Structure 1
Amino acid sequence: MNQKVNKKHEILKASMKIFALKGYHNTKIEDIAIEAGIGKGTVYQYFESKIQLFEEMVLYYIESYKEEIVEIIDENISLEEKLLKVANKNSKHVAEHFDMAEKIDVRENIISNEMKSKMLRKKEEIFSILECAIDQAIENGEVRNDLDKEVVISTFFGAVNVYCAGRYQRNNTMKAYVDPTPVVMFLMRALNK
């Protein structure tokens, strides 16, 4: 990775930490620069504004997450094992980014409609990756062949996210791991023949 791309990634990683800590409105570019170990002016060499940095950070995060999902789905393991690994990855992501989700009020319309469309396309890419895994599981006879894959995937992500987020809130265990295995086991019972 060249130095310019690496510097941009460092800024994006620092921004994730600072936006999570302070929220969008309380974050200053200066805070991100300090976290990244660079000058404020360097941030502006890569990003024109705080909103552009925020939106690119969101896309960077989603793309990184997607790459992790692809690695799991490409493994030569059963659908159940893949879903467990994805659920575990999701649980860790919920823990790591729960603070940011709580601090950024979606009603504030910080994110542009164009950005929302990009995020939706990324979500569809992730769903498509999981659809392929379900198709393979159907072909291998691991699960029923009459499944509505969109319902399965939506249920999977929704259940894992709500289960983990609920545990974090109830137990005040931010940054702690919540085991999503019960959710995956429940879902697999519904998918089996």
Structure 2
Amino acid sequence: MLIAVIVACEAGFWVAVLGGLVLRYVVGLRRTGAVLLALGPVLDVVLLAVTALDLARGGTADWMHGLAALYVGVSLAHGRRMVAWADARFAHRRTGRPLPERRTGWAYTRACWADVLRTGLGVVVAAGVIGAFVLAFGTGERTAALVAWLPVLAVVLGVELLWAVSSTVWPKRAR
């Protein structure tokens, strides 16, 4: 059941983004569109509540509970940037507004290091959620699958760090 909620929250995020952009640029309701665009954190709270409720009812944590924590961390850290990316492309198609220039060289490298910081924030949030669940619902076998996600979080941050290091050594060239 929890995987369905995770998928629904992800789909809901993109439906809210698309709906917000349509209201903004097609219908002309900028404020209503902005409200829809701001629903991402609400979906994160829903996912956290459902995950906590599942554990509070006596459920044993499995990989889906860890995935929910990772989803919330990544969503909070990268969500605003994903909305801005979609907004720029939608505005370009609807109003002809120019797309942001593709970054190259050191500008791209700086952006990669900013992504490391964002991903680091997402990992810290996910680890905090996991820690809160372990504190609230006990240690041992019941939450072992949650604790098993901590090395996965380190790998996620490590991959982002490797990408930034590689872009520092070999900066992206202009086409």
Q: TM-score, normalised by structure 2?
A: 0.34
Q: TM-score, normalised by structure 1?
A: 0.32
